């Protein structure tokens, strides 16, 4: 199934049933009074966050959702049956906007979270409702109201504790494979990853975090270049960013320039994203001997004037990944404590 993180749907709540015009007609009962029942209410449409879903691909086919309408009232003061509510399941982490007004309707992040997006119409009144001391035989009824209709925009932002970012072929997919059970596509050419991948990294008993691998970014991503612009939003929910850089790129490019280019794209896209904690992960150190590795690392840190935390790892061999996972877990726990 293809990963789809944007979709538009139309929802229509059920209409209310009409009120009934009826009079009691029985043997030996002369001029029976009004006995028209009310109409049933229309069903409403709800969006429900479903943790087992991780894509909006189903909404490429099913784009219209309509709740059941209420039934009309009938004689003997019988109220019509109300329409059933309709639950539409969407992935956790979906932001919902009204296309016509731009209004933010909801942001469903918790499993089972439920939000009404279209309210059902009210049932009409039967003529019994209009009986009075003045009018003993009313012939007045009301029709049920129309159910609410809306055009909705769904935008999925994956829920992850840690986000990986870096140039194509920086080793993000290899790292998430080494640290978790995720199995993303890996190859020795750029843009192997075409959609976000999530992996659960288990550090110890009852200790784990979710890591997100997004497609590689290139310079100009915040303006739409490459694949990154449509996936930068997925990093907005993360608590920590890991900035992977290839210490020995085969194309001879300067690692410091690639780090600066992506950092600049984060600033252009969102100040909040740029202000998130970001660690420098120096990858592919297994390609250099110890002396060259130390020299290349010091040169990179000096060019960047890097003051934050950094780790030297090899995602391919697993070197340094265990220490990195433990440090991430401690950092996330501290972030959670500060939030509380």
* Pair (324, 199) in one structural domain: yes
Let me know whether 138 and 201 are in one domain. no
| pLDDT of the residue at 203 | 85
Residue of 237, 230, 163 lying closest to 198 (CA atoms): 163
Query: CATH code at 115?
Result: 2.70.210.12
- Beta-sheet pairing, 149-156 with 207-213: unpaired
Tell me which residue range forms the domain holding 288: 162-339
Write down which residue in 156, 184, 207 finishes a domain. 156
Whether residues 129 and 178 fall in one domain: no
> 30-39, 133-142, 266-275, 304-313: which range is least confident on average?
266-275
Residue 79 inside a domain? The answer is yes
CATH of the domain at 287: 3.40.50.300
pLDDT in tens, 6-22: 899 999 999 999 999 99
145 with 213, same domain: the answer is no
Same domain as 210, residue 121: no
Residue 312's pLDDT is: 94
Between 202 and 84, residue with greater pLDDT: 84
Residues 236 and 293 in one domain: yes
Q: What is the pLDDT of residues 165-176, one digit of tens each?
A: 888 777 888 888
| Claim to verify: residue 257 and residue 288 sit in the same structural domain | yes
The pTM (predicted TM-score) of the whole model is: 0.70
For residues 332 and 209, the answer to whether their CB atoms sit within 8 Å is yes
Contact predicate 219/167, CB 8 Å: no
Q: Which of 133, 156, 179 is the last residue of a domain?
A: 156
Residue 1 lies in a domain: no
Q: What is the C-alpha radius of gyration for the chain, rounded to an integer number of angstroms?
A: 30
pLDDT of res. 256: 92
Mean pLDDT of the chain: 85
Q: What is the pLDDT of residues 313-340, one digit of tens each?
A: 998 898 999 999 999 999 998 888 887 7
Domain boundary, last residue among 107, 135, 156: 156
What's the structural domain count of the chain?
2
Within-domain flag for 108: yes
Q: Where would I find the H helices in the chain?
A: 172-179, 255-269, 271-274, 290-304, 321-339
Distance in angstroms (rounded) separating the CA atoms of residues 232 and 93: 14
Residues 132 and 21 in one domain: yes
The pLDDT-based confidence of 184 (bands split at 50, 70, 90) is very low
């Amino acid at each position: 199934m293809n990963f789809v993180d944007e979709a538009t749907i139309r929802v229509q709540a059920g209409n209310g049933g009409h009120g009934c015009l009826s009079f009691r007609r029985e043997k030996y009962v002369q001029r029976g009074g009004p006995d028209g029942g009310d109409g049933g209410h229309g069903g409403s449409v709800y969006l429900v966050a479903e943790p087992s879903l991780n894509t909006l691909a189903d909404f490429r086919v099913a784009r219209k959702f309509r709740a059941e309408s209420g039934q009309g009232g009938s004689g003997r003061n019988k109220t019509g049956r109300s329409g059933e509510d309709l639950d539409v399941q969407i992935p956790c982490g979906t932001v919902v906007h009204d296309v016509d007004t731009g209004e933010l309707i909801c942001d469903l992040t918790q499993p089972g979270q439920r939000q009404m997006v279209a309210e059902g119409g009210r049932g009409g009144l039967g003529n019994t409702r209009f009986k009075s001391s003045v009018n003993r035989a009313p012939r007045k009824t009301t029709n049920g109201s129309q159910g609410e209709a809306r055009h909705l925009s769904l935008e999925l932002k994956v829920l992850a504790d840690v986000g990986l970012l870096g140039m194509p072929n920086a080793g993000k997919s290899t790292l998430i494979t080494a640290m978790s059970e995720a199995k993303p596509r890996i190859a020795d050419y750029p843009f192997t990853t075409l959609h976000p991948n999530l992996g659960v990294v288990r550090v110890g008993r009852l200790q784990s975090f979710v890591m997100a691998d997004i497609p590689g970014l290139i310079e100009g991503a915040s303006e739409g270049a490459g694949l990154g612009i449509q996936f930068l939003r997925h990093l907005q929910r993360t608590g920590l960013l890991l900035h992977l850089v290839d210490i020995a790129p085969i194309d001879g490019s300067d690692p410091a320039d690639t780090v600066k280019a992506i950092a600049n794209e984060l600033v252009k896209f969102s100040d909040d994203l740029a202000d998130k904690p970001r660690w420098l992960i120096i990858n592919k150190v297994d390609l250099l001997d110890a002396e060259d590795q130390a020299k290349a690392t010091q040169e990179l840190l000096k060019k960047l004037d890097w003051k934050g935390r950094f780790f030297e790892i090899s995602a391919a061999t697993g070197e340094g990944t265990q220490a990195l996972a433990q440090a991430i877990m401690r950092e996330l726990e501290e972030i959670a404590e500060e939030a509380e």
